[in-house]
Amino acid sequence: MAAVATAPQQKSQSTWSLAWRRFKKHKAAMFSLGVVIALVLMAIFAPWIAPYDPTAQPTGDNLADFYFRGPSAEHWLGTDELGRDMLSRIIYGARISLLVGFVAAFAAALLGTTLGVIAGYFSGRPLRFYAGPLAKLAGGWSPWPFAIWRVISWALLYLLLFLVADLAWVLSGSNVQALFAGTASLNNVLSLLGLVLVWGVVLLIAGWGLFGQGKLDLDVAISRFMDFMLTIPELPLLLVLSALLRDTQGAVGQWAQSVFGESASVFIIITIIVLFGWIGTGRLIRGAVLSLREQEFTTAAQALGAGEARIMFRHLVPNTLAPLIVNATLAIGGAILTEAALSFLGFGIQPPVATWGNMLTKAQEYIFTAPWLALAPGFMIFLTVLAFNYLGDGLRDALDPRSRL
């Protein structure tokens, strides 16, 4: 897994120059690199390259003349149902797609790496997780993050207990009241029993919460959480989340708009892609770290007195870099695809902002009359995703120390 090439060489070469030499052999990947660079340049310089304003609609007497025009010298890719220039919209669409792709993949890699390395490194070594206000602690309040978490955890525990107790009352309260009012049916008796049982358990836990201490294996917690995320149907949930966050009337939606500001819809899409996107990286890094932490260099670092954070992020993470880079590259293509799918379904970035995905939505309606409207954006999504997939493939070969020159 490690990217370190240590074979003795006549002329010493760094890992990266070796990788670059291997990468250059992969013709499709080199070509894809060219495509990606061209796309990035196109996105950055969109205002200078695009021949027209992507949202400008024509004005004039015979408006109908401007709509649905096939490819011509003035409009290389034709015009859409509102007379807007398709080429300009495609060029501006690259900005959204690439922004979403790069930012989402980077953030997902960051999150996945952090959680993955924590899970792998602390596996089998439970950390103090809960200590009640009256608990006698051997190590006092240190380290300070634990001191803060300790207070938060009290609030969370008692809030949860209150909710459970309240829930039990709401579900059974009317039956119990009826029982004391004199209608003793089996249902009412059962309700009373249930209420007593739940409240008893709540009181027990509340008592434990004052004095008790608990330890938690972070690996178990994070791995369970990843399992849980894999149980949730991804695409439908993305739609649900997107509908929730993009709405301008609901409280959650308004909160999201105020947090993300003007280009809220783009960042909301990025956020929900990251929410599901980090799991693959997390599992990958966790697995790698589980084996890396048993190797001698980790023991050496520990013996030299390096702190936990230093071992994790200076010694372990750099050794997982090769699979991480490959994974992140493929994730860029995946994020672009997800954004396009959401926008296509109308749950992503909304018109009039041009994205390749939402251009396809309208285009589907006009497939009989103006098929070129669908071909251009669809082909761009396909080309971009293909390029990132080939790039990832080339990087996989290049960064694998077992593959020869």
Partner 1 sequence: MIPLLFAASVVIFTLLALQPGDPLDELRQQNPRITAEQLEQLRRAYGLDQPIYVRYFKWLGRALQGDFGQSRTYASPAGQIIFGQRLPRTLVLSGAALTLALLVAIPVGIFSAVRQYSRADYAITFLSFVGFSMPIFFLGILLLFLFAVWLPEQLPWFPRFPVQSISDFQWVQVTRGEISFFQFIGDWAFKLVLPVLALSTIQMASWTRYMRASLLEVLNQDYVRTARAKGLGERIVLYKHALRNALIPIVTLVGLAIPGVFGGAVITETIFSYPGMGRAIFDSLVEKDYNVAMAALAFLALLTATFNLLADLMYAVVDPRIRYS
The binding site for partner 1 (CB under 8 A) comprises 163, 166-167, 170-171, 224, 227-228, 230-237, 239-241, 243-244, 247, 249-250, 252-253, 333, 337, 340-341, 344-347, 357, 360, 363-364, 367-368, 371, 374, 378-379, 381-382, 385-386, 389-390, 393
Distance (Å, whole) CA 336 – CA 384:
8
Distance CA 354, CA 243 (A): 19
Shortest distance in whole angstroms from residue 145 CB to partner 1: 26
- Alpha-carbon Rg of the chain, whole angstroms? 28
The three-point CA angle 282-285-288 to 5° equals 150
- Identity of the residue, 66 or 388, whose beta carbon is nearer to partner 1 in the bound complex: 388
Say if residues 287 and 118 touch (Cβ distance below 8 Å): no
**Positions of E strands within 254-308:** none
At 57, phi and psi to the nearest 5?
Answer: -105, 145
CB of 312 to partner 1, least distance (A): 28
Return the number of the residue (156 or 252) whose C-beta is nearest partner 1.
252
Tokens describing residue 50: 């695009």
**Smallest distance from the beta carbon of 278 to partner 1, in angstroms?**
16
Which CB atom, from 18 or from 226, has the smaller least distance to partner 1? 226
Q: Is the peptide bond before 8 cis (omega within 30 degrees of 0)?
A: no
Rank residues 144 and 368 by Cβ distance to partner 1 and give the closer one.
368
Q: Cα–Cα distance between 316 and 326 in angstroms, integer?
A: 17
- CA neighbor of 173 nearest in space, from 187, 192, 200, 197: 192
What is the smallest separation between the CB atom of 394 and partner 1, expressed in angstroms? 12
To the nearest whole angstrom, how small is the minimum distance from the Cβ of residue 329 to partner 1?
13
> Which C-beta is closer to partner 1: that of 312 or that of 376?
376
Answer yes or no: are the C-beta atoms of 335 and 107 closer than 8 Å. no
Shortest distance, position 193 Cβ to partner 1, whole Å:
17
Residue with tokens 């660079």: 37
Q: Given the complex with partner 1, which of 223 and 320 has the nearer CB atom?
A: 223
